[in-house]
Structure 1
């Protein structure tokens, strides 16, 4: 390439960088992100243009625009019986308004601790499906557990059950084509969740991190577990794997069915089979909390902030990634000032080095404000649990980081029920008993270069 052609290419790249920088200024969600992208695109466009193409968008376009009308016609009618709602739900009115749905009463809940118990329950429920089975995971591996799931799905499809499966295209990037083709050949409708429309096509950020199983419209599962042997604690060095899943029976199952249907329709253009949810006969009140990059607001962050601000007695959090934004960090600090018992449980082993370094710095700042932070010792902690006071608990897929707050499609079930909250409290008490309290020395006594690495990692908070 001669000098004039090279000069023209450089000029073109800088021109494209200028236009991309203008886009970043207009559309990046945070000032810090806008500054970072703009400087990079203006000064080093030949380095930053390609990453911006894949990582720069802050909205998942088109998802909300066309999803409701066809589904409204396809959804089954709701049941007439309306079980009473716990009076304690009233303090979460902001979360209900955020979700556009109320708490509903009449739920039966079962806490499933760790992978073996959770998958035994989920696979048994799937194997008992008679009419319709909806399955969604962020990650599905073609390993021993993945093949167990495959066999159950094939058996149900062979029995005439309508089986619909969604998996994330990036999360399940290692899933072989033959795994998917085997399921399709056996009558299973299976699709990868992908951006796939031209305005989103190059984006890697917008992942569907939800884990949902709905059986015959009557029972559902949500939580943190994906399908892979590591989630059973079978893959060192992260073993044993600590995680939690929740089984629900009651009206909220219809909301989880709807949520799956919206994702399914985005991919396929048609709704999945949907069944009426039977009337609830339990004591718990529950609300399905859904969030994603197609929302007009940062739903995940607002959910955590609202729940924490409602606390008067305790806030116990379990999360694999502790990278809170300003709103959640402020809510936790204000809770401490109100005299609330605020505890955060995080891993002692990293699965992603950059996030672990950023989490360590955030933990240091949290401890300095009176938040008690603990590192779970036996193995990797992947559990996403929130306990508020003596009556409220939430289990789902949301991590405490910007990716769950803003970039991923997520789901959790929030329950107001003293008995269920007591079960979650007992579970977390045992977890904290296996954890080590963090103090300021963890950061201060770390080697200087490691502390520098923590601060560098924190610069990437918007992407973590």
Structure 2
């Protein structure tokens, strides 16, 4: 009887493995990922069925329909200026134009960013939309909690989204206190069973929109480590930005898309604010619901647009093939290609894979720099003298394919000059990487790098 039951279980697992393998074959985006899942599910279903449930399967068709239908998408009649024309492919891909008339503020590191955010929150009068990947119940988290409660008590409609996995250790009482105080708050963990158990497909966006008039976007989350208060990663190096002008509407709509996907309820929106400056801004939203790999295409297009310089800052340098090729082609064009990465790891497997990719990039002529004072977490791109991007997108497959991300691409010489000065200060505090970093490592560490690189599709 026992052997018969065992045989039935094995047969059931094999059948489920075949069904899951067929699903992986049809829905996994990359050939490498499809091969890995299919072989694992067919040969070792007992070991791979549960990981596939947590890491592989997804269902975002409803999100895609809502995202496409939430607001009319605009197609540009054609860029009238050459500098904007370099990004015509991005405009066509996003079905959203560069919007003119913005006032911008570059916010370097946590103290500057959160002081600006808290000041804006205190001035809110109608609605406050707040979305972060991580909320912690610590000093900064409780300060944010109090600020939100004060505005809710003043009659402001406060809506908050946090990621259920990114904020996995957020205590229930933190959320319940906000709800009791009139704050509408929800985790990005949907009622749909197949997505509820997902460790992948997380919402990595960091967006604050105040009264539909000004917004904040960047790489910071809500926790004391982002203020540089938690060794051994302190001091924490990060970048956020504030913008006022018509593109705030796009960020507001992006939050509303996420809100409706989670809650099922539409969010009333403010009309587009009047122009408030000279900068042009394109909001780049990407995620696993996209029909194309928007994140990777965005970075590739930015690199290809560079004529003189492309500088990138990312905490996780695990580029896919298209980004690696674009970087190498930029080197061949004579472009000054630099990438700023951390010298300290916060995720050891990613750090090992990143070190492997750094070695290949250096051999291809890319200059890489490791930031020395502390952990470097900013996600910034600088193209030539007139274009810069700040947002949540890392240079890895997780950001390119598995996470919902948001960046602001800015065409403005003054803002680009500020980003240039910021990155020059960062490079001055960095050590340039050469091939010896890999070649002088122990044999076992080099083996570990190559093993870590095998996991590129989920890093």
Which category describes the TM-score, using the shorter chain as reference length?
Answer: over 0.9
Q: Tell me which of 183, 191, 200 is aligned to 2:178.
A: 183
Match runs of 1:444-455 below 5 Å: 444-455=439-450
- Contact 1:290–1:411 at 8 Å: present in 2 too? yes
Compute the RMSD of aligned alpha carbons: 1.7
Deviations 1:286-329 (A, max 9, x none): 11000000011100000001111111000000000000000111
Q: For residue 62 of structure 1, give the secondary structure of its aligned residue in structure 2.
A: helix
Q: TM-score, normalised by structure 2?
A: 0.96
How far did 1:174 drift? Answer: 0.8
The residue number in structure 1 matching 2:211 is 216
Q: TM-score, normalised by structure 1?
A: 0.95
- Contact 1:29–1:58 at 8 Å: present in 2 too? no
How far did 1:15 drift? Answer: 2.0
How far did 1:179 drift? Answer: 0.8
Q: Tell me which of 353, 360, 365 is aligned to 2:360.
A: 365
- Contact 1:195–1:206 at 8 Å: present in 2 too? no
Change beyond 3 A, Cα 1:86–1:186: farther
- Contact 1:217–1:274 at 8 Å: present in 2 too? yes
Are 2:317 and 1:288 equivalent residues in the alignment? no
Q: For residue 166 of structure 2, give the secondary structure of its aligned residue in structure 1.
A: coil
The residue number in structure 2 matching 1:81 is none
Change beyond 3 A, Cα 1:341–1:68: closer
Structure 1 CA distance for aligned equivalents of residues 455 and 437 of structure 2 = 21
How far did 1:34 drift? Answer: 1.3
The residue number in structure 2 matching 1:64 is 64
The residue number in structure 2 matching 1:266 is 261
- Contact 2:248–2:273 at 8 Å: present in 1 too? no
Structure 2 CA distance for aligned equivalents of residues 249 and 88 of structure 1 = 22
The residue number in structure 1 matching 2:85 is 90
Q: Tell me which of 138, 145, 163 is aligned to 1:143.
A: 138
Are 2:53 and 1:53 equivalent residues in the alignment? yes
Over 6 Å off, 4+ runs: none
Structure 2 CA distance for aligned equivalents of residues 12 and 332 of structure 1 = 47
Structure 1 CA distance for aligned equivalents of residues 96 and 168 of structure 2 = 34
Structure 2 CA distance for aligned equivalents of residues 277 and 72 of structure 1 = 12
Deviations 1:130-180 (A, max 9, x none): 111110000001100001111111111111111111111111111111111
5+ residue gaps, structure 1: 79-83
Structure 2 CA distance for aligned equivalents of residues 223 and 66 of structure 1 = 25
Q: Tell me which of 431, 436, 439 is aligned to 2:434.
A: 439
- Contact 1:86–1:105 at 8 Å: present in 2 too? no
- Contact 1:367–1:373 at 8 Å: present in 2 too? yes
The residue number in structure 2 matching 1:327 is 322
How far did 1:28 drift? Answer: 1.4
